[in-house]
Structures are given as C-alpha cells and as structure tokens.
Amino acid sequence: MKNYQKYKKQYFMPPVSCMKWAEKEAIEKAPIWCSVDLRDGNQSLIVPMSLDEKVEFFKFLVKVGFKEIEVGFPAASETEYNFLRTLIEQDLIPDDVTVQVLTQSREHIIKKTFESLKGAKNAVVHLYNSTSVAQREQVFRKSKEEIIEIAVSGARLLNEYTKNTEGNFKFEYSPESFTGTEMEFALEICNAVLDIWQPTPDNKVIINLPVTVSHSMPHVYASQVEYMCDNLKYRENVIVSLHPHNDRGCAVADSEMGLLAGADRIEGTLFGNGERTGNVDIVTLALNMFSQGVDPELDFENMPEVVDVYERMTGMKVYDRQPYGGKLVFAAFSGSHQDAIAKGMKWREEQDRNHWTVPYLPIDPHDIGREYESDVIRINSQSGKGGIGYLLEQNFGYSLPAKMREDFGYTVKGVSDHLHKELKPDEVYDIFKKEYVNVSAPYALIENHFAQGDEIRTTVTISVNGETKVMEGAGNGRLDAVSNALKENLGLDFTVEVYTEHALEKSSKSQAVAYVGIEANGKMSWGAGVHNDIMDASIRALLSAINRTQK
C-alpha cells in the first residue's frame, strides 16, 4: 500500500523491563466489572437510547450482575442529567450497585455532577484529562506541569464537593490517551492525583488506564499496565482499572493480558459497541474465563435474551459469528466437524459427564441457553453423514446403521444443494420419511402370517401396483421367509445384508423401527419400516428397500 511511510509508533514502552505477566498461565478470578453501555456504548449509537430504553437497559445490566454501571456524563447534557435523576428519584438503584459518572476537571462541570448525584447511595465520580504527547502538543498546547495541574486541581475539587454532598463516593482518575503517554509521565500524574486523594483500605481509589486509542500490540499494553501496577503509590489501596478500545481489534487480548499484568477491574460493554471500532466486549471476556473453569460472576445463562435486549435497546446487531453471542457460533455445517461433535457428545455421555471436552465446541451451548438441535448441527450441502444422523437421532429418535447414515446423508445434501439453502430439522425428517420410511410402491404389505416348524413358513399378502397377491415362503427366520417368498413369487433378486431394529422412543405411540439394507444388482439399497408390531416394521423396511431399487 502507498503512504505507509507516514505512520510511526505513538506508544511508549516502560523504562524498565515489565514482563512478569508473561509467566502467568491464566486469569484465575473475575475482575470487578463496570458496564459503560449507557455512556460509551450509548454515545456511539446513530440514534441514542431514549430515557425509557436507558432505564430498561439499566435494569437488565443489574439483572446480569453488574455491580458498577457508568450511567453517563450528567453535566454534559440534560438528557444524561435527567436519566441519573430518574434512577435516583425512582429508587431504581439497588443498594449493592454503584453508579458511575464522568466529569472533566472543570469546576462548573464538577459542581453540576455532584448536584446530579444528590440522594445517590453509592457512586463513583470519574475524573479524567488527556495526557498523551499528541493531545498535549496539538490540542491543549500545554506543558507536562500544566497538564498535571489540571488533574490535581480537579482532584482537589472532588475532595471539596464530597465534603458537602451526602452519599458514599469513590473516586476514579483516568489519564485519558494513556497508551500514547510516556510511562514515566503517566505514573507521575497518577501519583500526583493519589497524593491528593490519599486512598485508604476503607476508601480505595480507582486508577483507570484506558486504551483510548489502540496503538500497539497487546503485549506492549500489558507491560505498560505492569509498570503502573508496580510503581503506583498506595498500591494496596488502589484499584487498577482497564478501559480498552478496539481500534486494532485487540481489546479482548489487551484486557486479558492487562489482568495478568496486575489489573483488578474492567470497563467495557456488552458485545463491545463504543466509539470507532468499539470498547472491549465483556460477553467475550467473561465467557472466555467461564470456558477455563472460572466463574465470571456475570449471568449469561440466557444468551438469546442478552442478544435480544441489546439489539432492541441499541438498534445494533450481534454479528452471526460474534463470539458466544452470534447465532452461528456453535453451528457446524462441515461434515467432519459434525461427525466429531456427534462422536464427542456420545463419548461424553459414556465416559465423563462432569467435564466438557467436545471437539469444536469450547463451551456447552446449553450453559448459555442454546440448543444442540437448532444451534449446533446445521444441515446444508456441506454437511456429512455424522451430523445428519445425529440430528435425526436427537430430534426424532431414529438411530440409523452407519452405512445407511451415509446413504441418507448424500440424499439430504443433494436436496440442500438443489434448493441452495439450509435445511431445518423438520425438513430433514420429511426427506427421511418420504424417501426411506414405509415406501409402498410398487410393493406394499397388506398382511402376513407365520407358522413354526423345522423352519419358519410365511403366508404374506402383498399389493403389487394395486393388485393383491398372496404368496408363501420358508426360511430360517421370519424376515428370511418373507424374503424368499418375494424372490420366488415376484422374480426379485437381492440379498439382505443389514438388519437392525429399536424402539422409537421419540414417538408418541409405542412404535418400533426396523432398518434393512439389501444388495441388488451390485448396489446397496436402504429402507426403514415403522409399525406397532416389530415384524410388520421389518417387512415394511424390506419392501421399502426393494421399492427404492425400482426408482
């Protein structure tokens, strides 16, 4: 591409090596979660949420389990001010939930922010100012000392207004554009703010390290976070928070590596909407932890509901392949994938019900409210015998012999390819019934009788193209006797190669199903029979296989 020379790195590595995070294997506990859906998420929408939508979304975030929820920038607009007042005056904030509000380091904004919080039981007041080289030089045109003064003057004002405002307030400071700031300066300004606030074990302070714009690979951010965690004053009384944006598509990795580097808290949104390419996706982060055996302390057990509420409130769509939430994230169309999943599910049932190791499925879809039948095994022209057979067995109770599954698989794939569409389970079942079950032309069973002697003798009545014929035969078993009767009286030439049967447990009636595979003219043909009487089912399966050779 042209013009690549105009770009250069805008991030700063720590002055010392900070790589202890790389020695850690996994995140071992959930962070403190703070939803910013109602602020960062909302300001990214083409049509921002109405007051009623915000209230509904707030209630849903509480239901999911968020204990900290950023509700807006109340001094920035009357809409956000009124939303916070509505939450407080209608007593919609549970006692164990803390609302968070954003403010710049300006006295009139801080004053209105505290006015908006009157009556709030628990609140985080989030102070920020930009610290990056680009912001200092191009936007504010101020020295480092002047930028520090903006931060500490705001910190002092928060102290003053807290003394005169009833409520339980916690402070948060963000060096906005942290990732474009020299690490020594980021540390200096954060420590200056901490010196004003003097955090204690009973009154901890949040230092938030935002990826306001993503400039680097995730390992750089992890090193930056580790440097701050190692060198912040009052560290035992500081909650280190991360607020990653997704410009480089690295927000999840930034967050996970940042937690390994010592961070305690994550600010993000459901499914990651936010300015530009968005915020970190909390659903993905939380369920990544869940898939490793860590309780995320958020409830995503009904993912279809989470998606529905999100889409209705924001007007945005959850992409079909969005991790965990998308409609197709568990869907397997590939034949080899379907076969592996089907075998993995069977192995789990037989060997280890307590642990989830099914191929291609990182978590059990049932754990987030998804169904195997409609969400996992999906049928189109790319599907294989394993998946199609699994779907037929799970949904309708038919356990086809292995070679019959292969034959039926080709039939289904042919239909899907011809129609150029995915087939739903009922459509697959309809194909099976039409093509294989109780096929009655040209030969159909009317009745049969058996007599026991040295061998089994049968009298079987068959309709042949509508004409009734009664024929007799003998054999070493009932099905063998019927086969011989058909061969001798109708001039048919075939060999029964496969026969299996089982109770049809999915049926509302007490029915049996039989499967017969015959070889005729060097080719295999398959049929199935369903009836209350297993012998009738077996003969119907045989006739179905014979009839399918006549097509």
Let me know if 401 is exposed, middle or buried by CB neighbors in 10 A (0-12, 13-18, 19+).
middle
> What pLDDT is attached to residue 94?
97
Contact 427, 412 (CB under 8 A): no
C-alpha 51/C-alpha 36 separation (Å) is: 16
Contact 128, 102 (CB under 8 A): yes
Q: What is the side-by-side strand order in the sheet with 523-531?
A: 495-503, 512-520, 523-531
Q: How many CB atoms lie within 10 A of CB 503?
A: 12
Residue ranges of domains in the chain: 26-314, 335-436, 443-548
pLDDT at residue 375 is higher than 80: no
Parallel, antiparallel, or unpaired: how do β-strands 512-520 and 523-531 relate?
antiparallel
Q: Two tokens at 286?
A: 């939380």
Contact 166, 121 (CB under 8 A): no
Q: How confident is the model at residue 437 (pLDDT cuts 50, 70, 90)?
A: very high
C-alpha 516/C-alpha 527 separation (Å) is: 5
pLDDT at residue 546 is higher than 90: yes
For residue 225, the Cα-to-chain-centroid distance in whole angstroms is 28
pLDDT in tens, 379-432: 776 776 677 888 888 889 999 999 999 999 899 988 988 888 888 889 999 999
pLDDT at residue 374 is higher than 70: no
> What pLDDT is attached to residue 331?
84
pLDDT in tens, 65-88: 999 999 999 998 899 999 999 999
pLDDT in tens, 451-489: 998 899 999 999 999 999 999 999 999 999 999 999 999
**DSSP characters over 240-260:** EEEEEB-TTS-HHHHHHHHHH
Domain 443-548: homologous superfamily in CATH? Alpha-isopropylmalate synthase LeuA, regulatory domain (3.30.160.270)
Q: Where are the beta strands (DSSP E) in 197-321?
A: 205-211, 238-244, 265-268
CATH node for 26-314: 3.20.20.70
C-alpha 263/C-alpha 259 separation (Å) is: 5
Contact 277, 249 (CB under 8 A): yes
- Which residues are bridge partners to 101 per DSSP? 72, 125
Contact 450, 458 (CB under 8 A): yes
pLDDT in tens, 6-29: 999 999 999 999 999 999 999 999
> What pLDDT is attached to residue 508?
59
Q: Two tokens at 153?
A: 């003057």
Q: What is the mean pLDDT of the chain?
A: 94
> What pLDDT is attached to residue 309?
97
Alpha-helical segments (H) within 319-457: 335-351, 385-396, 402-419, 425-436
pLDDT in tens, 100-132: 999 999 999 999 999 999 999 999 999 999 999
C-alpha 22/C-alpha 223 separation (Å) is: 9
pLDDT in tens, 478-533: 999 999 999 999 999 999 999 999 998 766 577 999 999 999 999 999 999 999 99
